[in-house]
Amino acid sequence: MRGRSRFILEAIEGRLAIEEQLAALDETAGAWSDENHPNMKTDEDIDRWLTNLRASWGQVGSAVNG
C-alpha cells in the first residue's frame, strides 16, 4: 500500500473509532446516578474503590499462579 493510501486509511479508521466512542457515550448518557451509587460520591470514595479494585488484581494473579 502506498504512503498516501495508508495515511487515508488510518485517518478514516481513527475517525470511525472516535465516532463509535461518541455513539457509546450518547447511548449510555444518564446510566450512572449518585442515588444508585451513594458509596461513590466523593473523590476519596472513588480512590478507595480504585485501591480495592487494584489490590484484587494482585490477589487474582496470586491465586492463578499459586
- Whether 45 and 63 share a structural domain: yes
20/47 same-domain check: no
Task: Provide the number of structural domains found in the chain.
Answer: 2
49 within 8 A of 42, measured Cβ to Cβ = no
| Per-residue pLDDT, 32 | 85
Residues 6 and 20 in one domain: yes
Q: Across residues 38-57, what is the average pLDDT?
A: 93
Cα separation of 61 and 47, whole Å? 22
pLDDT for the residue numbered 64: 53
User: Residue 25 is which amino acid?
Assistant: L
- Identify whether residues 42 and 26 lie together within a single domain: no
The answer to whether 1 and 9 are in contact (CB under 8 A) is: yes
**45 has a pLDDT exceeding 80:** yes
Q: Which amino acid is at 3?
A: G
User: Is 25 in the same domain as 45?
Assistant: no
Are residues 44 and 27 part of one domain? no
Residues 8 and 20 in one domain: yes
Quick: pLDDT tens for 2-37.
899 999 999 999 999 999 999 999 999 988 888 888
Domain that holds residue 51: 33-66
Q: Is residue 40 within 8 Å of 49, Cβ to Cβ? A: yes
